[in-house]
């Protein structure tokens, strides 16, 4: 505990008060109530100190980042004000940056919406599904393309695979608002002309991913994550422009414009394994994904408990 630590300062102050009282009279009167309080102080201080040092250990940036939603197509508000607690600290540069990043992301959203290249393909639906989460996040998840549920809600990863992703994020000790979630392709891919597609989905093809890659590149440039997790082989291929099998790609940390990229199985892979009614296989799939997530947490310098290390073993 350094001398500037709040507990040390409080103890110094208490010492000064007692010294002053003692210099006035031979003894210092302490009421029975104060005596009881002072007797329990060491235990309370220990607890407080533990709480404070726990706080210091946490990855501050992830913890304190304000929960700001990134441009959501239905209600893009380039000038949405930050939350009031942030407004009251105008001299701090962080929220200025955040406001600027949000504005730039809205600009990317507008470019996606007006993309002639994507429209000319004729293979994608019209609705833009952009990104959600924290525009200053250290951790970015990148999927392949939205499905029916995502298109309906105009938000990425909100269908069944999205719910799995949410569980993964929560297992890390974070919430969806702490991270940035996006896709390479910003429109749901059509099957045929899309007229009889119903709720079925398909993966984007390399041409569709190539048309959308400038958007995700710009998002990465703006958000500046410390690590990207590519969800599934298609996302990894689109982002990294490499081929291979997922089991090979997940063995190393890749790089996208200098940002470390971890490749892991798509959450829908876990869903498929769970659906097969083989609990051992489902647990194995979860463990593989979890091992990749632990590597991302290590890159971020996040604290990892023993319990977390042992998930799905
Ligand atoms: N799969 C993806 O890759 N992205 C989504 O948004 C949903 C499912």
For the domain that residue 239 is a member of, what is the CATH number? 3.40.470.10
Which ligand 1 atom is the nearest neighbour of the CA of 149?
7
Name the token pair of 201.
Answer: 């989905």
Is 245 contained in some domain? yes
Task: Give the predicted TM-score (pTM) of the model.
Answer: 0.73
For strands 254-256 and 259-264, give the pairing.
antiparallel
The predicted pLDDT at position 90 comes to 38
Is 113 contained in some domain? yes
Which ligand 1 atom is the nearest neighbour of the CA of 183?
4
State whether the beta carbon of 149 lies less than 6 angstroms from ligand 1.
Answer: no
Is 108 contained in some domain? yes
Give first-to-last CA distance, the chain, whole Å.
38
Helical segments of 5-159, H only: 6-24, 32-39, 41-57, 60-64, 84-87, 94-113, 116-121, 148-153
Q: Which of 199, 216, 209 lies closest to 131, judged by CA?
A: 216
Name the token pair of 308.
Answer: 């977390």
DSSP 8-state secondary structure symbol assigned to residue 210: H
Residues 6+ apart with CB under 8 A from 73: 109, 113, 127, 128, 129, 130, 154
The predicted pLDDT at position 51 comes to 45
Torsion angles phi and psi, residue 190, rounded to 5: -85, 155
Is 216 contained in some domain? yes
The predicted pLDDT at position 9 comes to 59
State whether the beta carbon of 183 lies less than 6 angstroms from ligand 1.
Answer: yes
Is 202 contained in some domain? yes
Is 274 contained in some domain? yes
The predicted pLDDT at position 277 comes to 86
pLDDT, tens only, 192-209: 999 999 999 999 999 999
**Number of structural domains in the chain:** 1
Kindly report the number of other CB atoms within 10 A of residue 250's CB atom: 22
Mutation test residue for ligand 1: of 70, 127, 130, 157, the one with most atoms within 8 Å of CB: 157
Range of the domain at 278: 97-313
Which regions in the chain score pLDDT beneath 70?
1-96
Kindly report the number of other CB atoms within 10 A of residue 77's CB atom: 11
The predicted pLDDT at position 16 comes to 64
The predicted pLDDT at position 128 comes to 98
The predicted pLDDT at position 29 comes to 62
Is 262 contained in some domain? yes
The predicted pLDDT at position 192 comes to 96
| CA of 16 relative to ligand 1 center, distance in Å | 62
Is 32 contained in some domain? no
Mutation test residue for ligand 1: of 143, 153, 180, 204, the one with most atoms within 8 Å of CB: 143
| CA of 183 relative to ligand 1 center, distance in Å | 7
């Amino acid at each position: 505990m350094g001398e500037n630590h709040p507990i040390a300062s409080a103890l110094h102050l208490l010492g000064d008060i007692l010294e002053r009282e003692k210099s006035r009279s031979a003894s210092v009167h302490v009421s029975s109530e104060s005596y009881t309080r002072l007797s329990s102080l060491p235990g309370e201080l220990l607890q407080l100190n533990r709480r404070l040092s726990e706080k210091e250990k946490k990855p501050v940036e992830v913890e304190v980042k304000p929960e700001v939603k990134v441009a959501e197509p239905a209600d893009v508000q380039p000038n949405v004000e930050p939350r009031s607690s942030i407004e009251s600290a105008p001299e701090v540069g962080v929220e200025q940056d955040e406001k600027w990043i949000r504005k730039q992301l809205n600009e990317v959203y507008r470019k996606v919406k007006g993309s002639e290249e994507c429209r000319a393909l004729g293979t994608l639906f019209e609705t833009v599904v952009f990104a959600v989460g924290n525009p200053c996040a250290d951790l970015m998840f990148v999927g392949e393309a939205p499905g029916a549920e995502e298109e309906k809600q105009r938000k990425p990863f909100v269908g069944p695979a999205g719910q799995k992703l949410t569980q993964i994020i929560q297992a890390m000790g974070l919430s969806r608002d702490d991270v940035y979630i996006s896709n390479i392709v910003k429109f749901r891919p059509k099957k045929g002309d899309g007229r009889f597609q119903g709720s079925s989905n398909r993966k984007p093809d390399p041409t569709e991913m190539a048309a959308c890659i400038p958007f995700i590149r710009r998002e990465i440039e703006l958000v500046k994550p410390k690590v990207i997790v590519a969800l599934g082989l298609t996302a990894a291929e689109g982002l990294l422009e490499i081929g291979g099998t997922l089991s090979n790609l997940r063995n190393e940390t890749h790089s996208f414009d200098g940002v470390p990229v971890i490749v892991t199985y798509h959450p829908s892979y876990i869903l498929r394994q769970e659906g097969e009614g083989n609990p051992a296989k489902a647990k194995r799939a979860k463990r593989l994904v979890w091992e990749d997530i632990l590597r991302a947490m290590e890159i971020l310098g996040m604290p990892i408990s023993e319990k977390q290390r042992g998930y799905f073993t």
